[in-house]
Structure 1
Amino acid sequence: MSVKQVSNNTEVDERLAALMTNANAVRAIASAVEGTLGPKGLDTMLVDKFGDVVITNDGVTILQLMEVNHPAARMLIKMAKAQQSEIGDGTTTATVLAGSLISEGVNQVTKGVPVSRVIEGLKAGVKNAVEMFQRHARPVQGVLDPMLEKVALVAGREHQDIARLVIEAARLVGEEKLRESGFKLSETIRAREGADNQVLSGVIINKTPMNEDMPKKLEEALVLVIDDALEPEELEEEALSTEAGFNWYRQKQQEFLENVRKIVALGVKAVLVDRGVEDIAEEILTDAGVLVIQRVASRELKKAAEHTGARAIKRTGLKRDPVDLMRYLGKAGTITVDEKLEHVCILQGSGKPVATVLVGAATEEVVGERERIAKDAASAVQAAIKGGLVPGGGAVELAVARQMEEVRRETRGMAAYGLDCVVAALKKPFAQIITNAGFNPLEKLGDVIAAQMEQNSDTLSINCDNGELADMWAMGVIDPALVKMHALKAAGEVAEAILRIDTIIKKREERADGGNNRGEGDW
């Protein structure tokens, strides 16, 4: 070999070094979660330095809790978090797809295909595949569509009790609410050790009354929501040392007491406060039989106001005329204090319908996993309402992969190799599901593709119980189309970003004063 050839090979190796390093890091992350995919997927145990253990099948939980230092691996984890934030389900699928896209991209580059051509084909392939997923989607016929129960059961990992709770909650809030961009059904989920499974037409405040003598149950109660502290207006200590300042303070104290008595006179029976409550206010309200909950989380405070029809008010707003103040009050049919679970239930509010799903767990160790399962099921049901349904079990991915192969045959130039990456990635979820079920993925892949082509079907896949061909739609193995579409889009974006990286350079450390640690003579 000539010196020139050796030099060229060295340059190629150097250019591929960053790509290979990043690809290996991504493969390691993908392999950490791929074993959980499918109905036969297994759990992962995560252990911290103190010996605390989390056992879970949830992809995003595994990714969030595992110790990761490599920047490319962190990019993949951020992608999974974005999938969780946007859709609430499909993080494992997105991670597996991204890992496959990057691995196949590296394989093409090492064969001599320019990275830019691989990326060009990959982007075009992802765009086409997403559009194909959309065309394969079947619309949902409202919240009463029985197919939604199948979606909840698949996403809820065959937990029938959780699936029933999620469907009941979805029907309670209604299709219009589920289609709202800012509403997430998964946020209605609460898991408690020792609780009974139930769907409440209301909200749960994870606080207890500030005084044990306050009522434990209220009927037809007026509710006041204070987005502030229930305390007198504050004055600087220096100002209190003057006579004018002291007189001002006494006047404000008197006004405050009048405002608290006004609350009682209005017939308010429950007061929810964002911050603290003054001792004298607690005493007056307790004597009047008013239930007071202080330091309520802002999210819970907002939900309570929405459900009861109350308008949140600042403490200065309590100066308003009683008639005007009445317009800020909400109403609840029932308010109960659960001393065992240490929370307050506000039910049958006169405002917007709100559902809270209370998921019971036998022990403290399984509370977190039960909640994660329920949140996945709720997110899947909401995604199905918004974007329709597709057959699961890897069936629709294989159908789209077959269509992509036809596009690939019509594509000229080296960008076609980027399309090959997308085709291979679309086959990966099916192969991993079959592997986790204990069957040969290559053998089953050929069987399914042949059967889909013969019957012109996008619903055929493998029954993971017996390894035989089966119609996923008929079996009730159904997924939300949005989960598939967003997972592929997110995987494509992170794959493109990582494939574009040509060099890895360590950033210099910045000093606390804004300078750098380099000496004056160092250049």
Structure 2
Amino acid sequence: MAGQITQPIIVIDPSKAHVRGKDALQMNITAAMAVANLVKSTFGPSGMDKMLVDVAGDVAITNDGETILRKIAVEHPSAKTIVAIASTQEKEVGDGTTASVMLAGELLKRAGGLIDRGIHPTTVIAGYKLAEHKSQEILGELAIDVGGDDTDLLQSVAATAMVGKAIACDDLAPICVRAIQLIKNGDIDVFNNVRIQQSVGKSIEDTELITGVVIDKRRVHDAMPKHVKDAHVALLTSGIEFRKFAKAPGGKSNEKMKVTSATQLEEMYAGEESAIKSDVDSLYNIGVNVVFCTQSITESAQGYLVKRGILGVARVNDNDLEAISRATGATILSNIVDVEASDLGTAGIVEEKGAEDEELIYIKDCPNPKTVSIIVHGGTEHVLDTVEGALGDALRVVADVVKDNTVVAGGGACEVELSLRLRDHAREIGGKEQLAVDAFADALEAIPYTLAENAGLDSTDMMTMLKAKHVAGGTTSGIDVYNGEIIDMYGNGVIEPLRVKTQSLKSATDATVMILKVDDVLASQRRELAPGPGQAPHDYDQF
């Protein structure tokens, strides 16, 4: 044929791996499910732990889904999407990461089955979106309005978040609740306003709440008071040091001076000493007995501070200084001579505690702190890391309840009720989307099923009893994994914030839809490093 092209037309770089159609979809689903299955055994109060060893040999033992997925080396792009679910869940609500990842894996598993039966991915996506929207409506109906000041309920929420992650939940839950109650009058910013400090030694039960701040610093001079009651605190972003030629209060002058005699040199030093004494006296005269600086405190200044009975701490980092300001109410100033009585913060006690080289400065008993600290005690660093992670989750969920004033029953109660109601809703929809809604309902049941399975119970029997209880009207009934019974979760204090459930549904559905919409994968091939022109070859294998 005239004009026929006999040479192949290369549209796509042949060096790129190209997977398309159902093969691409199945590959993405398989990769995502592999990640979900990785954390499945950690779910619930009876979940197992994972031991993670990094390239440096450092060991982390945890059953927190977000921590596990963050630390493993995930390569596949679809698997990274599932990891992103855990990160989003942790960032937005602080808990429910493992459940979100599991739900996404189950949704993809059932979507793969529907696609194998000839249902188009677009239809599955439409059905999943309908199911997620309806599920959010049902959750709103299941939500229980509570008071943000109900201490007992908040402690139940905190204990639910920590169970399976840390022992001594009954001792830690009140600490979490009290910490949030102390800072709730301001911005409930758990990350910035609740500081967690680890201390190896003692037991978890000795963990304590400090109504103030603890910093990893010590006094600049051993002769300074170690314990100050009724502290009046000054905060400086400068130091207490020589003023050059007794000029430039609070700082150093750039002027130069020519010294021509020993007398003149002595006068210059005397002027510098006089300036430092004047600075310290100005602090003492307005009632300062504790001062924190981000820069140095010279030996001469230390001597004057000791004489005035002022506790001085130097080279405090900016974050710690801001935390002290929020706790004590002190104003941070850059110039020592600008400090006035109205700029001072107050604390009941400021003291140095700890063995040599392990000293900590405690600023506590602050009258109206906007920042508080939790000192975590435990026998080993691994225990401390676990407890710190559990406290972080508990603090976040308590803050969620205080903000929203809505909770739901845990123990698989919500998921089973959602599943039953979605099946009824599916019959009203009709069409092929009905199959996707039913698949969504099946995926939700994987949550209580796994809960029972990880506890060593007969999952099938437990699911049968749980569904029967819900059909009979027990909307808050869930699985008691310790006794193998179906009980009222809300009545027994197994409670979760509504926000955790709504975010979990949204994150899992969005990630599933994203993966199902991909029908082509183009991936560049990795190439081994090779020396360029003029470069010497390297034996990369030795590394």
Asked if 1:194 is matched to 2:214, the reply is no
Aligned partner of 2:39: which letter?
Answer: V
Residue 23 of structure 1 corresponds to 29
Q: Deviation at 1:187?
A: 3.2
Q: Distance in 2 between matches of 1:108 and 1:124?
A: 16
- Pairs within 5 Å for 1:49-64: 49-64=55-70
Partner of 2:162 in structure 1? 156
Check conservation: 1:405, 1:423, Cα contact below 8 A.
yes
Aligned with 1:484 (options 495, 501, 522): 501
Cα deviation for residue 232 of structure 1 reads: 7.4
Residue 311 of structure 2 corresponds to 291
User: Residue 424 of structure 1 aligns with which residue?
Assistant: 442
Cα contact 1:185–1:382 (8 A) shared by 2: no
Change (3 A) 1:217 1:397: same
Q: Name the amino acid aligned to 1:476.
A: G
Aligned counterpart, 1:237: none
1:396 aligns with 2:414: yes
**For 1:333, what is the secondary structure of its paired residue?**
strand
Cα distance 1:492–1:266, how it changes in 2: closer, same or farther (>3 A)? same
Q: Of 134, 139, 147, which residue of structure 2 is paired with 1:133?
A: 139
Q: CA deviation at 1:80?
A: 0.9
Question: Conserved in 1, the CA contact under 8 Å of 2:148 and 2:401?
Answer: no
Any conservation in 1 of the 2:422–2:441 contact (CA below 8 Å)? yes
Deviation at 1:102, TM superposition (A): 2.2
In 1, are the aligned partners of 2:176 and 2:394 still within 8 Å (CA)?
Answer: no
Partner in structure 2 of residue 273 of structure 1 = 293
| 1:65-464 correspondence to structure 2 within 5 Å | 65-157=71-163, 161-171=168-178, 173-174=180-181, 177=184, 180-183=187-190, 187-195=194-202, 196-227=206-237, 245-247=255-257, 257=276, 258-259=278-279, 261-277=281-297, 280-314=300-334, 317-320=335-338, 325-340=340-355, 342-352=359-369, 354-387=371-404, 388-453=406-471, 455-464=472-481
Residue 47 of structure 1 deviates from its aligned partner by: 1.7
Mean Cα deviation higher: 116-125 or 172-181: 172-181
Instruction: Write the mapping of 1:8-47 to structure 2, written as runs, cut at 5 A.
Output: 14-47=20-53
Q: Alpha-carbon deviation of 1:231?
A: 6.2
Alpha-carbon spacing, 1:92–1:294, altered in 2? closer, same or farther (3 Å) = farther
Q: Which blocks of at least 5 consecutive residues in structure 1 are unaligned?
A: 1-11, 235-242, 510-523
Q: Secondary structure at the match of 1:75?
A: helix
**Deviation string, structure 1 residues 135-157 (Cα, Å, up to 9, x no partner):** 21212233334232322222221
Letter of the aligned partner of 1:471 in structure 2?
A: D
How much has 1:276 moved relative to structure 2? 4.8
**SS at 1:506 equivalent:** strand
> Kindly tell me: are residues 79 and 285 of structure 1, through their superposed partners in 2, closer, same or farther at Cα, counting changes over 3 Å?
farther
Q: Aligned letter for 2:505?
A: L
TM-score normalised according to structure 1 size: 0.83
Distance in 2 separating the partners of 1:105 and 1:276:
63
Supply the distance in 2 between the matched residues of 1:217 and 1:141 (Cα, whole angstroms): 40
Q: In 2, distance between residues paired with 1:501 and 1:473?
A: 41
Q: State the TM-score, normalized to the length of structure 2.
A: 0.80
Decide which structure has greater helix share.
1
Distance change >3 Å, CA 497–CA 301, structure 1 → 2: farther
Q: Distance in 1 between matches of 2:45 and 2:511?
A: 27
The Cα offsets for residues 72-107 of structure 1, whole Å up to 9 and x where unpaired, read as: 222222221221122111111111112122222232
Per-residue deviation, 1:466: 3.6
Taking the aligned partners of 2:91 and 2:240, their CA distance within structure 1 comes to 34
> Could you list the per-position Cα deviations for residues 29-86 of structure 1 after superposition, in whole angstroms to 9, with x for gaps in the alignment?
1112111111211111112234332111211111122222222222222221221122
Amino acid corresponding to residue 223 of structure 2 in structure 1 = D
Q: From the superposition, tell whether residues 80 and 378 of structure 1 become closer, same or farther in structure 2 (CA, over 3 Å).
A: same
Conserved in 1, the CA contact under 8 Å of 2:156 and 2:173? no
Q: Which has the larger radius of gyration?
A: 2
1:147-182 CA distance string (max 9 Å, x none): 323222222216574443432452365288078453
In 2, Cα distance between equivalents of 1:175 and 1:474: 27
Give the deviation of 1:284 after TM superposition: 4.1
Matches of 2:182 and 2:408, distance apart in 1: 19
The CA RMSD over aligned residues, in Å, is 3.3
* Other-structure match for 1:3: none
How far does residue 358 in structure 1 lie from its aligned partner after superposition? 2.1
The offset of 1:277, in angstroms, is 4.7
Q: 1:200 touches 1:347 (CA, 8 Å); kept in 2? A: yes
- CA gap of 1:275–1:80, structure 2 versus 1, over 3 A, is farther
1:166 alignment partner AA: A
Query: Within 1, Cα distance between the matches of 2:493 and 2:507?
Result: 27
Q: Deviations over 1:113-137 (max 9, x none)?
A: 2222222222232222123223212
Paired residues of 1:210 and 1:292 also in contact (CA < 8 A): yes
Show CA shifts across 1:304-327 (max 9, x none): 11221111122xx4343x6xx222
The code of the aligned residue for 1:224 comes to A
| Letter aligned with residue 369 of structure 2 | K
1:5 aligned partner:
none
Superposed CA offset, 1:335-378 (max 9, x none): 11112353111112244354322221022331111211222222
Give % identity.
Answer: 28
Shift of 1:428: 1.5
1:263 Cα deviation from its structure 2 partner? 2.8
Shift of 1:427: 1.1
What amino acid is the match of 2:463?
A: L
For the 8 Å contact 1:208–1:342, the answer to whether it is kept is yes
Structure 2 partner of 1:497: 514
The residue that corresponds to 1:4 in the other structure is: none
Counterpart of 1:78 in structure 2: which amino acid? A
Structure 1: how far apart are the matches of 2:34 and 2:274?
64
Structure 2 spans left out of the alignment, 5+ residues: 1-17, 245-252, 259-267, 527-543
